[in-house]
A = this chain, B = another copy of it.
Amino acid sequence: MKSVKPLQKLIDSFQKLPGIGPRTAERLSYYLLHVPQSELDSFADALERVKRDTVLCEICKSVSETSPCAICSDRNRNQAQILVVEQPLDVVAFEKTGKYFGLYHVLHGSINPLDNIGPDEIFLDDLFSRIKNAPNELEVIVATNPTMEGEATSMYIAKEVKKIIAEKNGNGRKIVLSRLGVGVPTGAYLEFADENTLSQAFEGRKNI
């Protein structure tokens, strides 16, 4: 026997989420039977609206309610720093450190030939335009994940930015390129790193 249909539908939905297996999906669904209807409605509302009420910021490509996003619109942030991350959640993780006051650029992925994700599939061109149109001084901090794909993406960015630097320096501009420093354990994902590790990694960033 399967669970009754309305429950099974909910179990199926939970089971599609990453890291949620059939037993957990069952447990969560049956748990929700004990929750007030108003709470279920507000959960459902949040689900329906999470994509409808958000956009990608036209500048940094982070998830936001407005475009440009709150960070890109904030003139108090250091306009001469761009921190490049793979996912919007990485922005949240960096903001939690309270140590970074520059801008971001969200790639929405990393170069991964096995999954057919090349440089054109992620927001790299947008990053390079931002760098080209940057003010006189700019620091680009590459904070892709310390994984194979993240490193490949970092190397690709380094190669392209060095081309821009070659041109730019001719124009008297100064662009510094760095990679997130030691402190981030290899093979892990940024979004799971604690604030302290992230701050140390930020402070220990190195030129590449």
**A interface residue numbers (CB < 8 A to B):** 1-7, 9-10, 12-13, 16-20, 23-24, 26-33, 35, 37, 39-54, 63-65, 69-70, 87-89, 92, 95-96, 191-192
B33 near A43 (CB under 8 angstroms)?
no
Q: 16 interchain pairs (CB within 8 A)? A: A1-B92, A1-B95, A1-B96, A3-B92, A4-B54, A4-B70, A5-B53, A6-B50, A9-B50, A16-B35, A19-B27, A26-B92, A26-B191, A27-B89, A30-B88, A40-B51
Selected contact of A50 from candidates B33, B63, B88, CB within 8 Å: B33
Instruction: Tell me the number of copies of this protein.
Output: 2
Name the B residues within 8 Å of A1 (CB-CB): 92, 95-96
What is the bound-complex CA distance between A95 and B35, given in angstroms? 25
Find out whether the CB atom of A64 lies under 8 angstroms from the CB atom of B31: no
Task: Pick the 9 closest A-B CB pairs, nearest first.
Answer: A1-B95, A44-B44, A6-B53, A13-B43, A10-B46, A9-B46, A44-B47, A44-B48, A30-B89
A9 partner residues in chain B, CB cutoff 8 A:
42, 45-46, 49-50
